[in-house]
Amino acid sequence: MIELRNLRKTYGHGPRAVRALDDVSISVPAGEIFGVVGRSGAGKSTLLRTVNVLERPDSGTVTLDGTLMTGLEGGALRQARRSVGMVFQHFNLLANRSIQQNVEFALEAARVPRGKRASQAAEMLDLVGLKDRGGAYPAQLSGGQKQRVGIARALAAKPRVLLSDEATSALDPETTESILDLIRSINRELKLTVLLITHEMDVVKRICDSAALMENGAIVEQGELVEVIRTPGSKLAAQLFPLAAPADDEGPTVIDITFAGGTADRPVIARLAREHELDVSILGATVERIAGTQAGRTRLALPVAGEAAAAVVADLRRQGLIVEYLKGGAA
Amino acid sequence: MIDYDSPDFWSDLFEVLLKGTLETLYMTGIATVITILVGLPLGILLVGTEKGAFLERSFGPVWVARTINRVVGFVVNVGRSVPFIILMIALIPLTRLIVGTFVGTTAAIVPLTIIAIPFFARMVEIAVNDVAPGLYETADSLGATKGLLIRRVLLTEGLPAILLGVSTTITSIINFSAMVGVVGGGGLGNVAVTYGFQRYSWIHIVFVVVILFAIVQIVQIVLTRIATRVSHRSSTAVLPKDAELTINPAQGVAT
């Protein structure tokens, strides 16, 4: 659905040039929610804006549903943009127009005949849970409600793709959840493909099917989340499971065990103590719901090193667990 | 000297003041309408043709927009820095070309409009510059044309500030229209000169001052009220008070 190929973009010239996009390629299948995570300044925002060509890449191509977006200009580009909805961190609503008029503005931009705008806008407001609030002005709404209007506006022209620019970053945790749930439900109901950028890992965990990690304008890792968490050494997985780094004085061997899907509910540690007669200490553990499945990671300190530790790890791996050494051992 | 005890004094005074007031309203009204019609697009053009702004590529190559910006900016600055009385004299040939004569109430509209347009264009520029930058991007993302961006985003979001600009501009035009009276332009300025100055009638001066004050107050109150009504930026709308805007009659500068 969304095909980004070898995108490059540099701002400025000479020694002060900033490479915002460094050979970025991403492919988002139809109906998927794809998250790009990274720190601010990593180039996420530029990347998102190349999709509807608000930013024109220096080289590379953007293809949406077979349409070469980077090949379009003027009226053709405007027309193509209408099939891509976009929501913004700071909502970007027209302050002096009512909620209803804000949504109607999108319909007017999309050349929907005047007579149909009111009913279509009302329909959209109903979809995002703001029925009967059409007459209110943005200043009278809470942050979460404003973002709902932003979503209604983005969806008004019935796009096939939704771009989300840190849509929940200005919201409190509870409101964030409700907005993410809304995005998830419209993704399913309207079969909408969603590309979102965020610096919050919780957003990825909660709604994304796939994710990419961006650093200094380049994608350093990407994949389906269910795969990512099974990948040893994955930076994305490390961020998905927030565990504190082990202290230096922990036992000779420290390992991370990742449980995903079917292995999540087995009594692994009890078995370890029983069969290997080891005093295992748990340094940290987390259970997350990632891409709709339960997944967890446990950090253990083993009182043994070398071959004894390797035997334990081999045994765990035979059980289908993903084991990584953090300290000691040769992976 | 005026004979205050003459039986016709009050009816004469009324007639003179009514004529003067109507002339002032006529000059100010026409000048305001033309000023808005020309100054509004000019102000938007000034903002839009700036580096990286929304009209940068609307005139073909970028250098065309850049040139338009420089030329319009220069003309506006010249217009704003020439004292009105000098501009009025300098414009005599143009006035004669348009109206056929350079004296009289209708003729006065030409210099009044010319001085007010750059003034108002700058006010529009300030109002439009105040529109949140994210809204341009939003309009683009929705596939809106530049025309729709201007009508639905810039003009609606900038409307309260533009209305206050109109209010200040009208005050300014009334101010200058009095000066026109000195050189035979008609209006309340002319009343003040012919009756108050040349014939020492303090009563005429008092009435002229009161009427001018009333007109300016009504304009400001009405426009400020409309501006507050169309602004929904916050539930407790705070607008800059028009009273804080002061006018330097020599240049027509508002700060």
| Average of per-residue pLDDT across B23-28 | 94
CB distance A81–B135 less than 8 Å? no
Dist CA B151 CA A13 (whole Å): 36
A134-138, B177-181, B182-186: segment of lowest average pLDDT: B182-186
What are the φ and ψ backbone dihedral angles of A161, each rounded to 5 degrees? Answer: -130, 140
pLDDT (tens digit per residue) in B86-110: 998 899 999 999 988 888 889 999 9
What are the φ and ψ backbone dihedral angles of A254, each rounded to 5 degrees? Answer: -125, 130
pLDDT value at residue A265? 61
A247-256, B44-53, B114-123, B237-246: segment of lowest average pLDDT: B237-246
Which residue has 């209007």 as its token pair? Answer: A149
pLDDT value at residue B1? 62
Do residues A183 and A303 both lie within one domain? no
pLDDT value at residue B192? 87
Dist CA A216 CA A105 (whole Å): 36
For residue B40, the SS3 value is helix
Q: Is residue A84 part of a domain?
A: yes
CB-based contacts of A135: which residues, under 8 Å, 6+ apart? Answer: A98, A99, A100
CB-based contacts of A275: which residues, under 8 Å, 6+ apart? Answer: A315
Q: Is residue A6 part of a domain?
A: yes
What are the φ and ψ backbone dihedral angles of A323, each rounded to 5 degrees? Answer: -120, 135
How many Cβ atoms from other residues are within 10 Å of residue A17's Cβ?
10
Q: Which of A228, A254, A280 is the last residue of a domain?
A: A228
Interface test with A, best of B56, B130, B138 (most A CBs within 10 A): B138
Do residues A165 and A192 both lie within one domain? yes
CB distance B143–A78 less than 8 Å? yes
Distance in Å, alpha carbon of B68 to nearest chain A alpha carbon: 21
Is pLDDT at B253 greater than 90 in this prediction?
no
Q: Is residue A234 part of a domain?
A: no
List helix spans (H) across chain A: 44-51, 74-81, 99-109, 114-127, 143-156, 173-189, 201-207, 225-228, 235-240, 268-276, 306-318
Do residues A151 and A79 both lie within one domain? yes
pLDDT value at residue A267? 78
Q: Is residue A303 part of a domain?
A: yes
pLDDT value at residue A304? 86
Do residues A213 and A138 both lie within one domain? yes
Using a CB-CB distance cutoff of 8 angstroms, which residues of chain B are in contact with residue A54?
A: 137, 140-141
Closest residue of chain A to B60, computed from CA coordinates: A74
For residue B248, the SS3 value is strand
Residue A186 region, left (φ>0) first, then alpha (ψ -120 to 50), else beta?
A: alpha
Q: Which domain holds residue A116?
A: 2-228
Dist CA A266 CA B55 (whole Å): 64
Q: Is residue A31 part of a domain?
A: yes
B140 touches chain A (CB under 8 A): yes
pLDDT in tens, chain A (331 residues): 999 999 999 998 888 888 999 999 999 999 999 999 999 888 999 999 999 999 999 999 999 999 999 999 989 999 999 999 999 999 999 999 999 999 999 999 999 999 999 999 999 999 999 998 999 999 999 999 999 999 999 999 999 999 999 999 999 999 999 999 999 999 999 999 999 999 999 999 999 999 999 999 999 999 999 888 888 888 898 888 888 877 777 778 888 988 877 655 677 788 888 888 888 888 888 888 888 788 888 898 888 888 888 888 888 888 888 888 888 765 4
CB distance B141–A84 less than 8 Å? yes
Do residues A206 and A83 both lie within one domain? yes
CATH of the domain at A222: 3.40.50.300
Closest Cβ opposite residue A82 in set B142, B157, B230: B142
Residue B143 region, left (φ>0) first, then alpha (ψ -120 to 50), else beta?
A: left
Burial of B123-148, coded b for 16+ CB within 10 Å and e otherwise, reads bbbbbbbebeeebbbbbbbbbbebeb
Give the Å distances, CA to CA, from B143 to B50, B105, B137: 22, 48, 10
Is pLDDT at B9 greater than 90 in this prediction?
no
Q: Is residue A322 part of a domain?
A: yes
CATH of the domain at B113: 1.10.3720.10
| CA max distance for chain A | 77
What tokens does A293 get? 């499945």
Which residue has 């205050």 as its token pair? Answer: B4
Q: Which domain holds residue B63?
A: 24-254
Q: Is residue B11 part of a domain?
A: no
Do residues A53 and A93 both lie within one domain? yes
Q: Is residue B10 part of a domain?
A: no
Q: In total, how many domains does chain A have?
A: 2
Q: In total, how many domains does chain B have?
A: 1
Do residues A167 and A253 both lie within one domain? no
What tokens does B121 get? 């264009």
Residue A158 region, left (φ>0) first, then alpha (ψ -120 to 50), else beta?
A: left
Residue B230 near residue B155 (C-beta atoms within 8 A): no
Do residues A71 and A205 both lie within one domain? yes
What are the φ and ψ backbone dihedral angles of B120, each rounded to 5 degrees? Answer: -70, -35
pLDDT value at residue A197? 96
DSSP letter for A264, please. Answer: G
DSSP letter for B232, please. Answer: -
For residue B134, the SS3 value is helix
Sorting pLDDT into bands at 50, 70 and 90, what band is B144? Answer: very high
Q: Which of A166, A200, A228 is the last residue of a domain?
A: A228
Do residues A289 and A180 both lie within one domain? no
Q: Which of A206, A228, A250 is the last residue of a domain?
A: A228
Q: Is residue B202 part of a domain?
A: yes
Do residues A149 and A279 both lie within one domain? no
Q: Is residue B181 part of a domain?
A: yes
Half-sphere exposure for A310 (CA within 13 Å, toward CB): 5
pLDDT value at residue B235? 52
What are the φ and ψ backbone dihedral angles of A176, each rounded to 5 degrees? Answer: -55, -50
Do residues A187 and A315 both lie within one domain? no
